[in-house]
Structure 1
Amino acid sequence: MKKQLYIVLIAVFCILLLDQIMKIWVKTSFDIGGDGNTMPVFGSWFRLLYIENQGMAFGTTFGSSIWAKLGLSIFRVIAICAIAYYFVKQWRNGAKTEFLIAIGFVFSGATGNLIDSMFYDFIFDYDPCISFNHLEGSGVFSDCGQWGTIETRHTGFLMGNVVDMFQFTVEWPSWVPWYDKNGDNQIFPAIWNVADGAISVGVIMIILRQRKYFPKENKKTAAVQAASTEENTDKTEE
């Protein structure tokens, strides 16, 4: 039991550490705008592209008001607490190590992105004139010199941006029916980070391996179905 816990804690720690190392490195090493915020990694199909988003995984947002951002961050906190509670419950019930690791992936990913929102506005200098920080409808205005007065995001605890950097640049081949000659044909255009990847891997593991993770529930369901089928058969014979 303790060995399981240590394995998951190590996995969570490693994911959080790698996530924060990548984000801090990208944020302090890449320039904003032009070619200074990109770096090819594997030829023409994968690259690092430094951006920041004000919402959830893959840039999803809830709106421009302070309550939208605060609500999103609070939702993250509640979700993380719920995941931690579920993990402890499953661990005490003797769940498989692989399932606990999958839960740990989701937990570490959600926590990694929450760390950005909680602390990055205090760790790094805030520039309201950077495009990442523009937010129309926020009601917060900043003087950006030659660009004039611009609406920018709210700042502070739980209000920070999330740093993203990974992007697949593979495009759909021209023979597919939905290929657009004048548009963006990237297969997966979203820009993501280690935390997003951990959440995705954890969820995919749970979906694909649910029969392995919940054998008792599956057997119980099968037994109920078998009993129901037998009952229907007996009624038919009568």
Structure 2
Amino acid sequence: MRKRYLITFGLVLLVLIIDQVVKIWVKTSFAFDDPSVPLVGNWLYLNFVENQGMAFGTQLGGGMWGKLTLSIFRIVAIGAIIYYILKQIKKPEVKMEFFIVAALVLAGATGNLFDSMFYDFIFRDYFDPCISYNQVEGSGIFEECSYFGYTEMVEVRHRGFLFGNVVDMFQFRVTWPTWVPWLGGGQVFPAIWNVADFAISCGMIYVLIRQKVFFPKEK
């Protein structure tokens, strides 16, 4: 049982460290308007963006309440995952591969939550209301923004605990063949993602593939 604890939460910690190291490096090394950087051939690029949503920019509504609801949802989901893992660890019949998959999902959810919780404090000096991902119409919060000597008041997002943006950076640039109906010429997967998103996706896809093994029907 101790081995299960060590492997499960050790993997969570490893994925979290990798996720945060990459995010901090990208956030402190690239500007919002920097050009994309090819990483692998012509199909994987580094393209720094920030979003107020969850994996791949998905949001639960907009504005302050949408962001706050999303952050609270993350906290509840992470608590439920931890509780479920702790219960399953005590069952000898549960396979180790299940805990590896659960660790990936838990680490990914926690990594993105960490951004929302703390990035507005860690990177407060980097905040610039003129950057588009900090501008939110209808927020009711106005800050002065200058463009080439011209000054105007712009509406910006709420800041602070649970309101930080999630840092994304990777993007596939693979297009559908032109002969594919409706999709031809468009990007196969245009979303920009991070290590945490990748961990969640790998975990969830593996669960779908192995669901009969992980959740067998009772005879």
Task: Name the TM tier (shorter chain).
Answer: over 0.9
Give the deviation of 1:219 after TM superposition: 5.4
Q: Count residues with an aligned counterpart.
A: 213
Who is 1:49 aligned against? 47
Aligned residue for 2:86, secondary structure, equals: helix
Who is 1:176 aligned against? 180
TM alignment of 1:95-106, pairs within 5 A = 95-106=94-105
Letter of the aligned partner of 2:19 in structure 1?
D
TM alignment of 1:209-224, pairs within 5 A = 209-214=210-215, 217-218=216-217, 220=219
Who is 1:81 aligned against? 79
Give the deviation of 1:88 after TM superposition: 0.5
Q: Deviations over 1:172-199 (max 9, x none)?
A: 1111111466xxx110000000000111
Contact 1:64 1:136 in 2 (8 A): no
Unaligned runs of 5+ residues in structure 1 are 221-238
Aligned residue for 2:193, secondary structure, equals: coil
Q: Which has the higher helix share?
A: 1
**Aligned-partner Cα distance in 2 for 1:26–1:192:** 13
Aligned residue for 1:218, secondary structure, equals: coil
Who is 1:141 aligned against? 142
In percent, how many aligned pairs have the same letter? 56
**Aligned-partner Cα distance in 2 for 1:48–1:7:** 31
Contact 2:176 2:184 in 1 (8 A): no
Letter of the aligned partner of 2:159 in structure 1?
T
Q: Deviations over 1:86-111 (max 9, x none)?
A: 11111112221100111111111000
Letter of the aligned partner of 1:86 in structure 2?
Y
**Aligned-partner Cα distance in 1 for 2:63–2:174:** 35
Asked if 1:194 corresponds to 2:178, the answer is: no
TM alignment of 1:30-45, pairs within 5 A = 30-35=30-35, 38-45=36-43
TM-score, normalised on structure 2?
0.93
- After superposing on structure 2, the runs of 4+ consecutive aligned residues of structure 1 that deviate more than 3 Å are none
Please identify the structure whose Cα radius of gyration is greater. 1
Deviates more, 1:109-118 or 1:120-129: 120-129
Contact 2:175 2:184 in 1 (8 A): no
Letter of the aligned partner of 1:82 in structure 2?
A
Letter of the aligned partner of 1:165 in structure 2?
M
**Aligned-partner Cα distance in 1 for 2:72–2:196:** 18
Who is 2:5 aligned against? 5
**Aligned-partner Cα distance in 2 for 1:180–1:206:** 30
Q: Please tell me the root mean square deviation across aligned C-alpha atoms, in Å.
A: 1.4
Who is 1:229 aligned against? none
Who is 2:107 aligned against? 108
Residues 174 and 98 of structure 1: CA distance in aligned 2, closer, same or farther (over 3 Å): same
Contact 1:64 1:137 in 2 (8 A): no
**Aligned-partner Cα distance in 2 for 1:66–1:58:** 19
